[in-house]
Amino acid sequence: MQKCGVSGLLEAFSSTGMTEMRAVLDSVCNGVMVVNSHGIITFLNTAAETFSGLKAENVIGQMIDDVIPNTGLIRVMETGLAEINQRQNIGKCEILTNRTPIIKDGIIMGAVAIFQDITEFNEVVTQLEDIKRLKSTLESILESLHEGIVVVDKSGNITMMNKAYGEFLDLDTKAVVGKHVADVIPNTRMHLVAQEGKAEVTDLQKIQANTCVVSRIPIIKDGEIIGAVGNVVFRDVKDLKSLARRINKLESELEYYKEELFKAYGGKYTFDSIVGNSDTMKCLRDVAAKAAKGMSTVLILGETGTGKELFAHAVHNASRRRQGPFIKINCAALPENLLEAELFGYEEGAFTGARKGGKPGKFELANGGTIFLDEIGEMPLAMQVKLLRVLQERELERLGGTKSTKLDIRVIAATNRDLENMIEQKQFRQDLYYRLNIFTLNIPPLRERTEDIPLLCQMLFEKINSQVEHWVEGISPEALALLMQYNWPGNVRELENVLERTINLMDDEIIIAPEHLPPMLKKVTGIQAETGGGEPPHDLADIKDDAEKQAILRALAAAGGNKSKAARILGIHRSGFYQKMQKYNLINNI
C-alpha cells in the first residue's frame, strides 16, 4: 500500500505539475523529505524545514548523510525494505518517521521519509505518567488512612471511597462507585455540600448505631464546585470524649512538669521579697528594677549575707527572661578541675569517668534564661579566660567536643571581694571585670541600714515560726534596741541565725526579751542581764557550738568572705572549715 502510494505521488508530480504538488505537500503537517537513488536530497517540504531547522534551498542537491546523519534513507534503498514508526532526533526535535523506498517498474528510484514531531507528545506522556503515579500515591495514602474518606462529584455520585469507610459501612468500596451518596451513607449531606459549596466541619451524623463526628468539604476548581470530600473524624462521640480526657490529662501533666521545672530552675524571689524601707534599699530596688528591663550583665557587690542572691533572683523574675531557667553556680564551691566541666559541660569520653552521652553544663541549661555566677571573685584565672570568651562570643564548646553551641543567656555575677583590688594584685582579669561591670548593684551591709531591722525581724519571725515548734509573736523594744546596736558582721543571714537560735532556746515566752539574746549582743553594747551575772549558762554543747559558729562568722567577716583565708585565720584545713559551715547551716547562707 505504501509503495503504491509513493508511486502515485511520483506520478502526481509528472501529471499534476510540480507547483501544485509542492503546494499540497507544503500544506500537510507531516514533514516530507525525498532523496534520489544516489542519496541526494531532491525535495523538502515546509514542515520538514520547521522540524529540522534547515532551508530547502540550502540542502536540495546535497547528500542526505552530509546534512542529516542517520536518516536511514540510504539503508532503505539498499535493503528495499520500509522502516515504520522509527524514532529519531533532528535538531532539538524528536520525530517519529516512516522511511519507504520509491520503486518504479521494480527499480528503486530513491526514498522518502514522512515524519512527525513527537517532542510535545512525549512531554504530555511524561506528564500523564507523573499524574498517574501521583494518583496512585494519593489512592494508597487514602487507603492507608484510619479515617473514612468518601468523594462525590457535583451530582452527589460517589467517585471514590477508601477501605476504612467501606469496612465501617460493611460495603464493597468498588461496588458503590457511581451510586448516589444518599443511597449508600445514611443521613448524609455530601450531595448538598457538593451543590451549595458550604463546608460543614465536625458535624454530628448518625450512621447505623453510632453518632459520628464528620467533616464535609466542597472541592472547588477554577472557582467552580466540582464535588465534595467527606471524612469520618471520629466513628463515635465516645472516641472524642476519650481523646478529650487524654488531652486534659496530658495538659495537667504538662502544667505539673512546668511548675516542677520552674521550682527547680526558676527564680524563687521577686523584688517584693526584698525587705527594707530605708532610703538606701528603696533606691537600690529602683535601680535593680531598671537593670531587669534590659539584657546587660549585672554585677552584684556586697558583704557576706547581704542578700546578693536575693537580688539576682529578683532581677531575673522581673526581666523578659522570667519564663526561662534560672541557673546558679557557686564558683568557690567546686575544685578548679571540675569547674570547667560544670560550667561548659563535656562530651562522652572527654575524661575518665565521663558520663555516657556526655553532660550539658550550666551555661547550656541556662540557655534562654539567666545564669547566676556566685562568688565570681573566687574563680581561678585560667577559668576566667574561658569565661570571658563565652561572654564575648556567646557560644561555647563542651569539654572534649568540637561543635560550638550558640547561647542566648543573661549573666548575673556576684562577689563579696574587692575586684578592683584583685585586679591590681593580678588575681582577677581586668577585661573580664569590664565585661561583667556593665550594671552594678552595691548592696549595703546591715549596719548601714539598721532602720530596716524591725521590718526584717517581722519577716524572719514568719519564716522561722513555720520551721520550728515554738511560736514567737514579736520582740520587745529593749531586745530590738540591742539588735540595732550590734555591728552584724554576718549581715541579714547572721540576724536570721541569731533569731532562729533564740526562738529554739525559748520556753513558753512569745516575746523575745533581752535575756533571750546571745551574750555577744549584750557584750558589744555593754548591757548586762538583770541577774547581774549575765545570762545563765545553757547546755555546754550549745555554748560551744554557738561560740564556734560566731568564730566562723567573724573569721569570714575579717577575710572579706574568702573561705580559704577564713580557714587560715582559724588555723584549720579548708575542707574542715566547709564541714563546720555545713554543720551550722552557713554554706548556703553566706
The model's pLDDT over 555-567, given as tens digits with 9 standing for 90+, comes to 887 777 788 888 8
100 shares its domain with 157: no
294 shares its domain with 438: yes
Taking Cα atoms as reference points, which of 91, 103, 118 lies closest to residue 8?
103
Q: Does any domain span residue 288?
A: yes
Give start and end residues of each alpha helix (H) in 1-115: 2-15, 18-27, 46-52, 56-59, 64-67, 73-79
Q: Does any domain span residue 254?
A: no
465 shares its domain with 418: no
- What is the spatial distance between Cα 93 and Cα 120, in angstroms, rounded to a whole number? 9
Q: Per the structure, how many domains does the chain have?
A: 4
472 shares its domain with 438: no
Helices 381-393, 336-344: crossing angle, 10 deg rounding: 10
Please report the pLDDT score of residue 267 as a whole number.
57
Q: Is the pLDDT of residue 70 over 70?
A: yes
Taking Cα atoms as reference points, which of 30, 61, 16, 27 lies closest to residue 43?
61
- Kindly indicate the confidence band of residue 376, based on its pLDDT and cuts at 50, 70 and 90: very high
Please report the pLDDT score of residue 139 as a whole number.
73
328, amino acid identity:
K
The average confidence (pLDDT) of the chain is: 82
Last residue of a domain, one of 424, 442, 460: 442
Lowest-confidence range among 28-37, 126-135, 364-373?
126-135
- What is the spatial distance between Cα 45 and Cα 34, in angstroms, rounded to a whole number? 9
**SS3 of residue 300 by DSSP:** strand
Q: Does any domain span residue 243?
A: no
- Kindly indicate the confidence band of residue 256, based on its pLDDT and cuts at 50, 70 and 90: low
Q: Does any domain span residue 312?
A: yes
Please report the pLDDT score of residue 255 as a whole number.
67
Q: Is the pLDDT of residue 268 over 90?
A: no
Taking Cα atoms as reference points, which of 418, 382, 414 lies closest to residue 565?
418
Please report the pLDDT score of residue 299 as a whole number.
94
438 shares its domain with 456: no
Lowest-confidence range among 30-44, 89-103, 232-246, 391-405?
232-246
Give the residue-averaged pLDDT of 31-58. Answer: 87
Q: Is the pLDDT of residue 523 over 50?
A: yes
Q: Does any domain span residue 460?
A: yes
CATH of the domain at 66: 3.30.450.20
Q: Does any domain span residue 382?
A: yes
Per residue in 127-152, pLDDT (tens digit) is 777 777 877 777 777 777 778 889 99
Which residues form the domain of 64?
2-117
40 shares its domain with 88: yes
Please report the pLDDT score of residue 529 as a whole number.
39
Contact call for residues 290 and 283 (beta carbons, < 8 A): no
The b-or-e profile of 461-492 (16+ CB within 10 A means b, else e) is beebeeeeeeebeebeeebbebbbebebbbbb
Contacts for 140 with CB less than 8 Å, ≥ 6 apart? none
280 shares its domain with 405: yes
Contact call for residues 316 and 328 (beta carbons, < 8 A): no
Q: Does any domain span residue 246?
A: no
Please report the pLDDT score of residue 312 as a whole number.
92
Please report the pLDDT score of residue 87 as a whole number.
83
Last residue of a domain, one of 442, 458, 491: 442
Cα distance from N-terminal residue to C-terminal residue, the chain: 112
- Kindly indicate the confidence band of residue 223, based on its pLDDT and cuts at 50, 70 and 90: confident
389 shares its domain with 405: yes
Lowest-confidence range among 67-71, 222-226, 514-518, 538-542?
538-542
Phi, psi of 551 (to 5 degrees): -65, -40
Most confident of 52-61, 86-95, 535-544: 52-61
Q: Does any domain span residue 14?
A: yes
CATH of the domain at 487: 1.10.8.60
109 shares its domain with 143: no
425 shares its domain with 464: no
- What is the spatial distance between Cα 391 and Cα 501, in angstroms, rounded to a whole number? 43
Per residue in 141-185, pLDDT (tens digit) is 777 777 888 999 999 999 888 888 888 888 888 888 999 999 998
408 shares its domain with 539: no
Last residue of a domain, one of 442, 470, 497: 442
282 shares its domain with 425: yes
Give start and end residues of each alpha helix (H) in 506-539: 519-525
